[in-house]
Each structure stands twice: as structure tokens, then as C-alpha cells.
Amino acid sequence: MTGGRKRKLHLSKIYSFTCGKASFKGDHSQIGGPGFSRVVFCNEPNFFDAGIRNYGDNYVRTTKYTLATFLPKSLFEQFRRVANFYFLMTGILSFTELAPYSAISTIIPLCFVIGLTMVKEGVEDWQRKKQDIEVNNRKVKVHRGNGVFDYTEWRNLRVGDIVKVEKDDFFPADLLLLSSSYEDAICYVETMNLDGETNLKLKQALEVPSFLDEDSSFQDFKAIVKCENPNANLYSFVGSMEFEEQQYPLTPQQLLLRDSKLRNTDYIYGAVIFTGHDTKVIQNSTDPPSKRSRVEKKMDQIIYLLFGIVSLMATVGSIFFGIATKDDLENGRMKRWYLKPDDSTVFFDPKRAPIAAILHFLTALMLYSFFIPISLYVSIEIVKVLQSYFINHDIHMYYEETDKPAHARTSNLNEELGQVDTILSDKTGTLTCNSMEFIKCSVAGTAYGEGVTEVERAMARRKGSPLAQVIMNGGNHVENIIDTKSPPIKGFNFKDERIMNGNWVSEPRSDVIQKFLRLLAICHTAIPEVDEDKHKVSYEAESPDEAAFVIAARELGFEFFKRTQTSITLHELDPVSGNKVDRVYKLMNVLEFNSSRKRMSVIVRNEEGQLLLLCKGADSVMFERLAKTGREFEEETRDHVNEYADAGLRTLILAYRDLNEEEYKIFNEKFNEAKNSVSADRETLIDEVAETIERDMILVGATAVEDKLQNGVPDCIDKLAQAGIKIWVLTGDKMETAINIGYACSLLRQGMKQIIINLETPEIKALEKVGEKPAITKASRESVLHQITEGKAQLTASSGSSEAFALIIDGKSLAYALEDDMKKMFLELAIGCASVICCRSSPKQKALVTRLVKTETWEDNISDW
């Protein structure tokens, strides 16, 4: 054991340190507390000796090769190809006396082919290296001490550094948000490089360090962060911060991930928690794989076949040669005297015929080597390089909005682009623009909004009325000429004079409309930005849905214009005086939205001291949480929501509840206890507490927003269908919504037969009313199996005809269709259809469907070879 190692063990046994007012003593192994093993001294990166806390640096490498590994790794890649390995063997043999030709004639072509490919690999990896250099040399402001921030390269950052990131810059490492330019220490983050989402995510620092809003305020700042070890989970973070002798729990809400971008916020201050290859984005990445296309792998299969033929030819020839050579000696005399047996070598020696046959076999293999097309590899490599050049310079693949051309990072897989047979797509942000517009609503059982959606236009065209469109007004269908005017306000395409311009005060249920608009203006996490010169308010929201809601509330008389950590202020239209009045609502709690809850709530106290729970969420979770006395408009609202779904709109149910002080006190204690928990199941605890308060609500109404299709989507899908490419859409929409959107984007076409799989049979509904879960499960499984079998029978009956089929399956049925004993049949049915729509599918189901298609179709292709 070295002296350095002994010193490390000695120091790790016991230590004592003080950071500002925070101090800690104890066993080093327990410093992180239960489940925590990473300790970060904020603003003191040099506190621990490097031998004890040797965290990695912030340098990141994404290249496949290094200078030391390029030659061995690249040569290994080249000789993975069967042809190259074959010619390497024949090249080695060509240096022996067995060779019927000179070694140069084999070695030069082999070196040319391998050298050309290695040069191409090296050039492509150098391009990656240049990108790494650019990223590692980016600049960021870091605290140098005494409140002074100075620029340094990303690669120089260390765990514990305090950095200042400015608007539209990327985060250089995984940071703990300490404060921002906003009073509430919030910031907006774009995570497109991490998860592909273009929506901005809201992050908020702990309240205690949020006073750090200037460079000089960090002069004496000290804190200790104890958290989990580096891991690949982008959506979890468990830890605590010790500041001024107090412990504060940390959540993913305070973690800013490397490669995400700061948006709509002037600056933030953050402490470096994970650096370099410890960051979550790098933990999620893998080493650059050795990518080989299907064509190349199939070529290997062909070469195995050719090599088998060559070996067979050489074997047969060598056997005959060995027999003839052995028979050449008779009674000590050569039959063929002209071969001069006295001068015969081992290659023709009748006394050693078996050895001569083996050597003849090796010679024959070299002679027949022209059967193996080594020049084909050269041709393919040249074609790949040219194709990459054309892709990079294709003006039709240039995206003008973001000024981004196509970029082929590797040329190994170009030919895969021409072998796509199935496309799996989400709907939001892929087929649609993810730009929401408030277009309709249902309040107190009355439908409002006269706008027309793209889906309704498509429905009108299917019915043979291309110049007319259906408009829903109060639940009735009327005809109207298409209004091609663009909406004057982004996010707001609502038209209905009954409630616009303050006219809602004259409606029969104006009290409910007031609650509806107030709920829209309060129940969200958006941030207002007030333009003093233009006297206008704009909003920054986590999702375009939320932005559309607050814009709608503003346009209809309830303007949200100020937010702090503890209050929300509105300009409300007073129905009595007809004037705008300012009302302040004290923000007590925010129960955030997530995919399992499918709803969001806020608890506020109004100026009269009344406690209110305001909630919005999906109909699947909201209707069941209504009180018996809060279902006055349930039937009408359900009808309107179904109509909105048919029109391709995204709907949410709005409800509220009055809270009493004692009930809220009990809830708040449990909620704060769950929030302050440092266990890994903190989110589950919070959800369980929220479940106790989000009940017995009173229905107010429903909203409907439209997410328009991307430009050219119908034409693109039509062209893909003509090319024989199958398209699968995996969406969380209702079946009716998904079908109508399928028609709007040409995924479903006239004359296409639909195979619909769902569990809406009378038998299953009857069992659901009884509530016998085992019986429901058994009946559901049998029903799905029967429907899949019938669907396959329809495909078989129509084989040979030009009839196209579309498969539509809901999430409940999909859960059974993806079981081990049924998924093969489901896939066979789906592959036989031109279009597949999986509706009401969860994120997990989308992943399972994608995995099923990739693995099963890949195995089928392998077997076909």
C-alpha cells in the first residue's frame, strides 16, 4: 500500500470542517446521510483533498477513436468484414511458395480498400472531435472569489463552482439553481437536446438562497449539498442542501441539466453538482457504436455463400488432384515421366499425396479469390461518401426557421434511408405544430365558440361538402363558409359574442362563467411579462396549453398580470360595476401536473379569506372526483367534450372546491412533510397527499384547444403511403379524436377498411359495473384475442387484392395485445395494415410498441437472409 493510499484512508476516518455558519463533524462514510454519497461544497471546490473527493473534470469526449486507439480499433472494424478478412488470409498466403501469383497483386488492393475506409472513418471522427473542442472551449462566468465572476472554459469547471449562465446560453454542467433574474428565483429551460421537447420547463430555486441576485452577494456564500450519485435518470434528483445550519430538501425542480438552454430569463446563478461524464445527459449516452447497415451485413452473408462455393470447388479439385498424384506412382516408376519425379517437390510428390492435396487446396483458394468482390466494397464506400455530401448540401432538407441544414455525422448508414418500411410517430409536435389555440369551451352546460378546426374541415370534405364546414354551436351542427382569416392573437382563436367583450355578465349562469374564467387565470404556473410602454401583458408558460388558457382569460376579462412566490394578482371584470378591479389571491400550494395524475391544482385564499381548491385535468380523472352535488352540468359537459374530441381538440375539465380551515391545516402539514422528505419515493408521497384533497369538487366546465397540423403533413403522409411505407401513430388522444385526426392528415383514407379493437363490448361493461377484476381481466384478454384473430382473417381473405386496411386500437386493449402470448399475433396483424393508430396509449405503451416493432421485424429480416 502506498503512502498516498494510507493517507487517504486515514483522512477518511474522521474529519471536521466549517463552511460559513454551517458545520459538520463525523464519519466520512456517513457524510451524505441515508442514500446519499455525493457531497458538494458550494463555492469551495478545493475544500476536500483531491485524493478524497476526486470528482471528474468537465471535459467531454464523444469521439469513437483517440490517437492511441485509432489504428487498432479501426483495423478491427475493417477486418470484421468477411471479405477483408478473407483477403488478409490470402494476402498472408501469397508470401509463401503456395501462391500462384505475386504478393503485391493481393496486398495492394487490400491496403487500398482498408486505407480508403480508414481515412473516411478518421475524417468523420475528426469532425466529431472538432465539435467536442468547440463545446469544451465554450465560455461561462465562474466565481473567482470576493464576488468577482470571470469567464472560463467549460472544461475547467469543477464540482462546487458557482457559475452565472445568461439568456439563450447552454448549461455547462448539471447545476443546482440558486437564484435568477426573476424575483421568485424561477427560470425557463428548453430541454430539446435532452428529450426533444420544445416546451419550456419551469425551474425554481429554494427560497433560502434566492436573495443571491448580484455577483457581489456570493462573496461569503457557503452551502453543502448532499445528493445521490451520478445516474442516467433525467427526471429524478434526490438530495438536500445545508445552509445556515438548516437542511432543505432538493428536487428535480432545482436541477438544471447540461445541454439544456436558458430561455426567457436574463441570467441564473447555479452551483456545479455533476461535471463531464457524471452529468445526466452523458450518463444517458453510450460509446459511439460500430454501425453497420443491413446491406453491409447482407453482403457478409453473400460472401459466406461465395466462400462456401469457392471452398467446395477447391475441395473437389484437390481431392481429384490428390488421387491423380497418388496414382501417378506405379511400381516405383512415374506414369507421367515427363513430370520428372526425381525433381518433384512436396506440391507434386506422389509419395506424399495427402499433403500435396492440402497444399493444392490452399492454392486453389487463392486462385478462386476473384469470386469474392473486394472492389464492391470500394464502390460502396465511394457512393456513401458522395451521398453524405449530397445530404449535407441538399437545399430541400434545409430548415429555414432554425437555420439548420441536414448533417450526416456518419456515412455508414446512408442506404438504411432507402429501406424504411415502417414509421412510428407521435402526434403532438410531430404531425402537429404543438402551438395551441383556445377555440371552444363549455361552461355551465352551455357550449361556446364558433371556430372551425382542420379536422372539421376534413370531415366536411369526406361528406362531399368541400366549401362548407361544420361548426359546433351550443351542441348543434350548422353550416358556414370557411373562415380563412388568421387569428389576431396568438393562442386565441375564440369567437362568440355571447361572452366576449364582457357580454358574459348577461348570460343566465354568469356566476359560473366568472368562476370558470377566474380558474383559467389562476390555475397555472405561467409567468407574466408586462410591457410598460405598450401596456400589454405576455406570458411565458411551461406548455402552449397553459399559455392559451391565460391568454383566453385575459381576452375575456380576467387578466393575470403579477405573480410572486406567495400571490397571484388579476385585473378582473367586476360584473356589478362593469369596471376592471385588482384582486390578489394568496397562493397557498401548487399541486403540479404529471402524467400519472393527469391534473393540476392550486390552493388559494381570496381577499375575503376563503380557501379555494382550483383544479383542471383530463376527463378520465376529473369526473370521478366530483361531489354528488357538483355534477349539475355533467351530462351536457360530457356531450360537449365528446364533440370537441370528434373535432380533434384537446380537452380539459375545470372544477373547484371550497375548503375549510381545519381540513386544509391537516392537508398542509402532510403535504409539507411529503415535500420535505428526502426519500426516493418523495413524488409518490406528494401524489398520495394530493389525492386526499382533490375530491368532492364542483364541475364548472371544459376547455378545448386546437393543435394545428404541421404544414404539408397530409401531402407527406400521402407520398409515404404511395411509396408503400407503413405509418404508425402512437397518441394519447381518444379513439374518436385519433380517427378524425387520421382523416385530416391522410393517415386514414376513403375506401380504407378499418379494423377497430377496443373493450367497449356490452359484456365487459356489465362486468365493470359489478367490479369483479379477475373476471374483467379474463374477458378482456379473450375479447382482444378474438378481435385480433378476426382481423387477421380479414387480411387473409383480402390477400391478393388492392384493398388497404387500417388498424385502430385503444390503450386498454393494447395492454393485453402486448402480452407475451399475444404480441406476435398483434404484430402480424399490424404489419399487414397500411396504417396503425394506437390511441389512449401511455408513454410506457409507446415504448413497448416501438421495441416490439424493432425487435420482431429485425429478427424476421435476419431469417429472410
Beta strand 536-540 pairing with 527-531: antiparallel
For residue 618, give the nearest of 708, 697, 730, 734 by alpha carbon.
734
Q: Counting beta carbons within 10 angstroms of the beta carbon of residue 194, is it exposed (0 to 12), middle (13 to 18) or buried (19 or more)?
A: middle
Contact 492, 547 (CB under 8 A): no
Q: Counting beta carbons within 10 angstroms of the beta carbon of residue 463, is it exposed (0 to 12), middle (13 to 18) or buried (19 or more)?
A: exposed
Measured torsion, CA atoms of residues 150, 155, 156, 157, in degrees rounded to the nearest 10: 80
| Per-position DSSP letters for 693-734, written without gaps between them | HS-SBEEEEEEEEEEEEPTTHHHHHHHHHHTT-EEEEE--S-
Give 806's Cβ-side CA count (13 Å radius).
21
Tell whether residue 810 is among the known ligand binding residues: no
The helix, strand and coil proportions of the chain, stated in percent and rounded to the nearest 5, come to: 40, 25, 35
Measured torsion, CA atoms of residues 224, 238, 183, 141, in degrees rounded to the nearest 10: 60
What pLDDT, on a 0 to 100 scale, did the predictor assign at position 517? 95
C-alpha–C-alpha distance, residues 238 and 228, integer Å: 6
C-alpha–C-alpha distance, residues 808 and 840, integer Å: 11
What pLDDT, on a 0 to 100 scale, did the predictor assign at position 769? 73
What pLDDT, on a 0 to 100 scale, did the predictor assign at position 786? 92
Residues carrying an active site annotation: 426
C-alpha–C-alpha distance, residues 655 and 670, integer Å: 23
In single-letter form, the type of residue at position 394 comes to D
Contact 189, 261 (CB under 8 A): yes
Q: Which residues of the chain have pLDDT under 70?
A: 1-36, 45-54, 196-199, 210, 286-291, 329-344, 462-488, 534, 678, 680, 771, 856-865
pLDDT in tens, 2-36: 333 333 323 222 233 333 333 333 333 333 344 56
What pLDDT, on a 0 to 100 scale, did the predictor assign at position 684? 85
Contact 350, 340 (CB under 8 A): no
CB neighbour list of residue 12: distance below 8 Å, 6 or more residues apart: 28, 29, 52
What pLDDT, on a 0 to 100 scale, did the predictor assign at position 476? 41
For residue 517, give the nearest of 637, 614, 639 by alpha carbon.
614
What pLDDT, on a 0 to 100 scale, did the predictor assign at position 275? 92
Architecture of domain 3-58+157-284: Distorted Sandwich (2.70)
Tell whether residue 554 is among the known ligand binding residues: no
What pLDDT, on a 0 to 100 scale, did the predictor assign at position 477? 42
What pLDDT, on a 0 to 100 scale, did the predictor assign at position 482? 40
Contact 606, 583 (CB under 8 A): yes
pTM score of the predicted model:
0.70
Tell whether residue 390 is among the known ligand binding residues: no
Tell whether residue 8 is among the known ligand binding residues: no
- Three-state DSSP class for residue 149: strand
Tell whether residue 593 is among the known ligand binding residues: yes
For residue 522, give the nearest of 571, 594, 580 by alpha carbon.
571
What pLDDT, on a 0 to 100 scale, did the predictor assign at position 1? 36
Tell whether residue 657 is among the known ligand binding residues: no
What pLDDT, on a 0 to 100 scale, did the predictor assign at position 757? 93
Tell whether residue 733 is among the known ligand binding residues: yes
CATH fold of 433-587+615-658+697-706 reads Calcium-transporting ATPase, cytoplasmic domain N (3.40.1110)
What pLDDT, on a 0 to 100 scale, did the predictor assign at position 329? 65
Tell whether residue 616 is among the known ligand binding residues: yes
pLDDT in tens, 229-248: 888 888 888 888 888 888 88
Interhelix angle 70-78/104-136, nearest 10 degrees: 130
What pLDDT, on a 0 to 100 scale, did the predictor assign at position 364? 85
Domain boundaries, the chain: 3-58+157-284, 433-587+615-658+697-706, 711-864
- Three-state DSSP class for residue 784: helix
Contact 845, 741 (CB under 8 A): no
Provide the b/e sequence for 291-317 (b: ≥16 CB within 10 Å): eebeebeebbeebeebbeebeeebeeb
Check whether domain 711-864 has CATH 1.25.40, yes or no = no
| Per-position DSSP letters for 469-491, written without gaps between them | EEEEETTEEEEEE---PPPSBTT
pLDDT in tens, 537-559: 888 887 888 899 999 999 999 99
Tell whether residue 244 is among the known ligand binding residues: no
What pLDDT, on a 0 to 100 scale, did the predictor assign at position 661? 93
Tell whether residue 427 is among the known ligand binding residues: yes
Going from the C-alpha of 856 to that of each of 295, 787, 824, the distances in angstroms are: 19, 21, 8
| Per-position DSSP letters for 339-361, written without gaps between them | G-GGG--TTT-GGGHHHHHHHHH
Going from the C-alpha of 648 to that of each of 253, 587, 702, the distances in angstroms are: 33, 34, 15
